Amino acid sequence: MLPPWPFFVRQVPTWLWLVVALLLGTWSPLWCREGDARIFVSTENDGVWIFSYPKFELVGKVALEGRHPRGIALTPDGRYLITANRTTGDLAIINPKTLQVERSLAVGRNPEFVKVHPSGHWIVASYEPSISPAPKGKPQETILPRAHILVWEVGSWKQVADLAAGLETEGIEFSSDGHQLVVTNEGDSTIGVYHFPSGRLIRMVDLKPYGFRPRGIRRSPQASQYAVSLENSSKVLLLNSKTFQVERELSTEAGPYGVAWDPQGKFLIVAAARAGKLQVFDPQTGKLVTSVPVGQRGWHFSFTPDGQAIVVACGRSQDLHVVATGSWKVIQVIPDLPVPWGIVTLPLSAGSLGLP
């Protein structure tokens, strides 16, 4: 069980957290404001690459040799950059100004996602325990271990919780008030909803009647819905954020993964990775607005801080595709990244791993 919310966190009303989040979306540290904005891309084979924006010049790298980073996140104050590293089973806590790794936090086998609480006070990551062979005559799925969700306090880096989750916990999201943690479990096609900070399981939502392998999950800017991608069923579900009832099903092209609303909630963006498309939907009607051809295995994407473009990290084609949000056309391709995976920006912006 997590410790109680710190006094200053408990005393802040929900409306004020929303104001803080809005301000953080347009604020950046002095070192960033003096130059261009920054785009941080985790690459599985060469650490983190940092690009300036709007010039898209490579301005730095974070060396993470042999660690194979995937999930990536920034704290709201821009003080810490965090990666989830597959090979070493840990999180790297990085100073985004010096590009130095300040510490590592042990996680466990196969960490993939890392998420920062809206208050900036905690970080959350999931891992999958090692799988033992099934006894003779027993199907393997009967003994698959549950994933775990770990929680650390930012600053002290003390681990404060270890929650049992579903099978192959993947996407991680918080409710707008920070009191619920919502995760996708791709192995058993469920969503787990937990009270935060107590860690109490509120409900498991079975998605198998709608499809299989939920991966990405994002909250709408209005906080009324969650979008969940079903990778093996070529769908995105829109769920009511209070009842978790499915309100709409969107048919996508093959292999939807990363999802995000634009900052105004007018469009829902879906990375249909197996099809090599970035798809744009009207979430009010469910109608497809357009499909933009991008690179191969584009799992994650981010809006630029000014909202003028979306940058897609395409792992298999090893490039970034920049899509203008006005025309929905690819305006630039940045080649030769060694298996890009995740992407976030500073100042923080909306995206499949960034702000809602």
Phi, psi for residue 142 in degrees, rounded to 5: -75, -15
Query: Where in the sequence is the domain holding 210, given as residue range(s)?
Result: 7-130+144-346
For residue 18, the model assigns a pLDDT of: 44
The answer to whether residue 263 is domain-embedded is yes
Determine, yes or no, domain membership for 2.
no
Domain count, the chain: 1
Q: What is the pLDDT of residue 3?
A: 57
pLDDT tens-digit series, residues 235-287 = 999 999 999 999 999 999 999 999 999 999 999 999 999 999 999 999 999 99
The mean of the pLDDT values for the chain is 91
Higher-confidence position of 97 and 10: 97
- Residue 50 in domain: yes
Q: Nearest to residue 253, comparing CAs of 228, 239, 271? A: 271
Check residues 81 and 326 and name the one with the higher pLDDT: 81
3-state secondary structure 204-272: EEECCCCCCCEEEEEECCCCCEEEEEEHHHCEEEEEECCCCCEEEEEECCCCEEEEEECCCCCCEEEEE
Instruction: Specify the range with the lowest mean pLDDT, choosing from 47-61, 73-87, 141-155.
Output: 141-155
Question: 170 in a domain, yes or no?
Answer: yes
Q: Is the pTM above the cut of 0.75?
A: yes
| Residue 141 binned pLDDT confidence (cut-offs 50, 70, 90) | low
User: The domain spanning residue 220 has which CATH number?
Assistant: 2.130.10.10
Average pLDDT for residues 18-22, to the nearest whole number? 46
Confidence band, pLDDT 50/70/90 cuts, at residue 6: low
Give domain status of residue 352, yes or no.
Answer: no
Residue 334, C-beta contacts closer than 8 angstroms, at least 6 positions apart: 51, 56, 319, 320, 322
What percent of the chain is predicted at pLDDT more than 90? 84
